[in-house]
Amino acid sequence: TDLSKIRNFSIIAHIDHGKSTLADRLIQHTGGLTEREMSEQVLDNMDIEKERGITIKAQTVRLAYTARDGETYELNLMDTPGHVDFAYEVSRSLAACEGALLVVDAAQGVEAQTLANVYQSIEHDHEIVPVINKIDLPAAEPEKVKAEIEDIIGLDASEAVLTSAKSGIGIEETLEAIVAKIPPPKGDRDAPLKAMLVDSWYDPYLGVVILVRVIDGVIKKGLQVKFMQGGTQHLIDRVGAFTPKRVDLPEIGPGEIGFITAQIKEVEQARVGDTITTVKNGAADALAGYKEVQPVVFCGLFPVDAADFEKLRESIAKLRLNDASFSFEMESSAALGFGFRCGFLGLLHLEIIQERLSREYDLDLITTAPSVEYRIQLGHTKNEDAKSIMLHNPADWPDTNRIEVIEEPWIKAVIYTPDEYLGSILKLCQDRRGIQTDLTYVGGRAQVTYELPLNEVVFDFYDRLKSISRGYASFDYEQIGLREGDLVKMNILVNNEPVDALSLIVHRSVAEERGRGMCERLKDLIPRHLFKIPIQAAIGGKIIARETIAALRKDVTAKCYGGDITRKKKLLEKQKKGKARMREYGNVSIPQEAFIAALRMG
């Protein structure tokens, strides 16, 4: 295709402002799907994505639009994941586009969350086309929203497109604006092939499908290519695009976005951000911006029922086929038996995997305390030289006497928030050992920058931030390396037995408070037994917090079990069910939910 006829763009929108509805309308208008096929929103297609309203995997559709100038344009609409855990994938998707539609709800106006995405888009030199949606609403105030876009974001909104994605108003105008305002891509058809690997996923029929943006040259079936960062070679066996139906194409030329397959069995071999070139006469340099994504949060996953171990192994292996950023290795724990130590990009990623395992694979799991990865310098002993180790499992904590230095990962976080929530947000960051490095105002909104230890962020920072700002604050972060910290391992003892799944690594300055919080929460989470159960937090041999669960009074149970036989049966059944979701520790049963819930800081 002639470069001047191509437009590559993404859609930026706050949750619920109408991104999916608008995308569907654009697809419908350009004839990508029939009315009946439109009945399901097509861009967000995973169940969990739908329920949580977030996009996990980027999807791209190619639309053919015949514009008012009589020319037919190829529009590539790229959907981007919307969560910090997937920031790198987002950055690659944005790098594959030249512009973006900024969708703003005509009744709600610009919301803080949108800002971070807009700035990211501007960083990629995108042309941004404002679209004011939901103009059908009685509360719509398009003129006010235009002024907001200009004041808050600094974009010219005088030519903003007014739409109602729901009623199909302004759809053609949106398509015309895309053609007129978003610049066509640049590229050289005769130069050596250079294509960016934007995304990859596993398809049971096709194997690994790779989404590419061709920069220079042409990708065709039968071409022998190499992945410059991954160092592997592959024979291209299929080339095509999604309209959103999958169609095969003879080639993908410069400036175009499409997919390829090459008999690849694991997504791990198709890393996002890699550069694809030909084996013969290939490009000399790889594209800038490649980053190997590494898991940053680790936890153990154990089946509640030990007999499910094999099933868990198979299920994890299957998920991993589709998600190279998730890592796993076998782990055994004294109390939990066999399970896996898994690595994730962040807490949301962890929750998604955990949810898929329980929902799609029907597994009841115990998740141990999430941890980041520490570097520990160990002094020499009689039998061993000094050495440095990486550690992300509290169970592997070395002999404390041998520890010389512990370093923990830090991040730089940028938070955008309406002014009114700033005070509470500063307090939250301060409580999490944050160091404020910058505070500026961008049109009535504060932008605050903090350096924070990652281990203070992984548990529930994001949830807390959202709740104290009623969803308005946005959060973006990048890792800035390791720093020395006074970290200790805290054990939780239930009925005087250490529960390894609950032990965690914390900073000494917050250990006591965390320990107290965990004991208090566990007191509520663990049901009463026939005996008294002490719950303690300890560092080494020193108890730093303690709670006691009172014993269940005998006569209470006696009453339950007496009398009516059907009632008794019901109770027993209930008990049996309850049991499957409990884990026995010595003679104490700890419910499955307790393991994660105990970690949520108050």
Given the rule CB under 6 A, which residues bind ligand GTP? 13, 15-21, 44, 53, 133-134, 136-137, 164-166
Query: What secondary structure letter does DSSP report for 507?
Result: E
Minimum gap (Å) between residue 366 Cβ and ligand GTP? 31
DSSP 289-305: T-------EEEEEEESS
Report whether 19 belongs to an annotated binding site. Answer: yes
Closer to ligand GTP by Cβ: residue 19 or 57: 19
Closer to ligand GTP by Cβ: residue 131 or 209: 131
Taking the C-alpha atoms of residue 560 and residue 371, their distance in angstroms, rounded to an integer, is: 42
| Residue 272 DSSP SS3 | coil
Report whether 188 belongs to an annotated binding site. Answer: no
DSSP 565-580: HHHHHHHHHHHHHHHH
Are 350 and 297 in contact, with CB atoms under 8 Å apart?
Answer: yes
Minimum gap (Å) between residue 446 Cβ and ligand GTP? 24
Minimum gap (Å) between residue 17 Cβ and ligand GTP? 5
Distances in Å between the Cα of 437 and the Cα atoms of 434, 448, 580 are: 9, 8, 49
Q: Which residue has the tokens 């937090």?
A: 537
Are 218 and 189 in contact, with CB atoms under 8 Å apart?
Answer: yes
Report whether 91 belongs to an annotated binding site. Answer: no
Closer to ligand GTP by Cβ: residue 117 or 503: 117
Taking the C-alpha atoms of residue 178 and residue 69, their distance in angstroms, rounded to an integer, is: 13
| Residue 444 DSSP SS3 | coil
Closer to ligand GTP by Cβ: residue 164 or 277: 164
Cβ contacts of residue 349 below 8 Å, gap of 6+?
85, 86, 297, 325, 326
Minimum gap (Å) between residue 113 Cβ and ligand GTP? 10
Helices 422-431/461-468 angle, 10° precision: 160
Minimum gap (Å) between residue 90 Cβ and ligand GTP? 14
Closer to ligand GTP by Cβ: residue 7 or 25: 25
Q: Which residues is 66 bridged to in the sheet?
A: 72
The region, left, alpha or beta by phi > 0 then psi within -120 to 50, assigned to residue 284 is alpha
CA nearest to 85, candidates 270, 440, 452, 346: 346
Minimum gap (Å) between residue 81 Cβ and ligand GTP? 11
- Neighbouring CB atoms inside 10 A of 135's CB total 21
Minimum gap (Å) between residue 18 Cβ and ligand GTP? 3
Closer to ligand GTP by Cβ: residue 111 or 323: 111
Paired tokens of 333: 């724990």
Report whether 136 belongs to an annotated binding site. Answer: yes
Closer to ligand GTP by Cβ: residue 13 or 102: 13
Minimum gap (Å) between residue 357 Cβ and ligand GTP? 24
Paired tokens of 346: 């962040």
Q: Which residue has the tokens 């190279």?
A: 324
Minimum gap (Å) between residue 142 Cβ and ligand GTP? 12
Closer to ligand GTP by Cβ: residue 192 or 471: 471
Paired tokens of 171: 């759809």
Closer to ligand GTP by Cβ: residue 76 or 164: 164
Report whether 21 belongs to an annotated binding site. Answer: yes
Taking the C-alpha atoms of residue 370 and residue 357, their distance in angstroms, rounded to an integer, is: 17
Pairing outcome for strands 374-378 and 387-391: antiparallel
Minimum gap (Å) between residue 82 Cβ and ligand GTP? 7
Are 315 and 303 in contact, with CB atoms under 8 Å apart?
Answer: no
Report whether 323 belongs to an annotated binding site. Answer: no
- Give the side-chain half-sphere CA count within 13 A for 349: 28
Report whether 199 belongs to an annotated binding site. Answer: no
Q: Can you list the alpha helix ranges (DSSP code H) found in 322-451?
A: 347-359, 422-431
Report whether 393 belongs to an annotated binding site. Answer: no
Closer to ligand GTP by Cβ: residue 142 or 240: 142
Closer to ligand GTP by Cβ: residue 10 or 275: 10
- Neighbouring CB atoms inside 10 A of 32's CB total 22
Taking the C-alpha atoms of residue 98 and residue 181, their distance in angstroms, rounded to an integer, is: 10
Q: What is the distance between the terminal CA atoms of the chain, rounded to a whole angstrom?
A: 57
Closer to ligand GTP by Cβ: residue 164 or 315: 164
The CA dihedral of 469, 474, 479, 485, to the nearest 10 degrees, is -10
Paired tokens of 131: 């679209």
Are 149 and 142 in contact, with CB atoms under 8 Å apart?
Answer: no
Minimum gap (Å) between residue 154 Cβ and ligand GTP? 23
Minimum gap (Å) between residue 140 Cβ and ligand GTP? 8
* Residues placed in the known binding site: 16-21, 133-136
* Residues placed in the known binding site for GTP: 16-21, 133-136
